[in-house]
Structure 1
Amino acid sequence: MTNEEALQQIQHLIGSRYVPTVKAYISELTGRPRVVGLKDVATREFDTQRIGMTGDDAGIVTAFSFG
């Protein structure tokens, strides 16, 4: 699944409140094993299997990143 296809599967989550269980849901939808949550620590190395989430101070998902 390309990044664009993965984003199509998960873009409905933008605007929703982040809960840790959403990481497993994103993995299930996209087949990507690495999902980094809003407060998770991740390395800076490029990983084609990683999806990162960005959120605001209220814990609302605002964007996704890949790599």
Structure 2
Amino acid sequence: MNELSELNEIIVKNANLEDAFVKEALERIKSYETFKKQFNQDDLGPKRITLYTEDIPYYKYLANVEG
């Protein structure tokens, strides 16, 4: 029974980490969408952006990896 309560404690502690990850991911998506809107409204015409893997959020990087 003691192991079960320890496991329950660990789950409760780590639930906050998952919530923080989801909130951070949503904030990154919103900031990216805001940037994209501002970029498209630029009067200077089309631009070229090079994205490196360290600039791409990990959850989006995984979505684009085949395997």
Using structure 1 for the length normalisation, give the TM-score. Answer: 0.27
| Bigger Rg, which one | 2
Using structure 2 for the length normalisation, give the TM-score. Answer: 0.27
Higher strand proportion: 1
Higher helix proportion: 2
Greater relative CO, 1 or 2 (CA 8 Å, sep 6+): 1
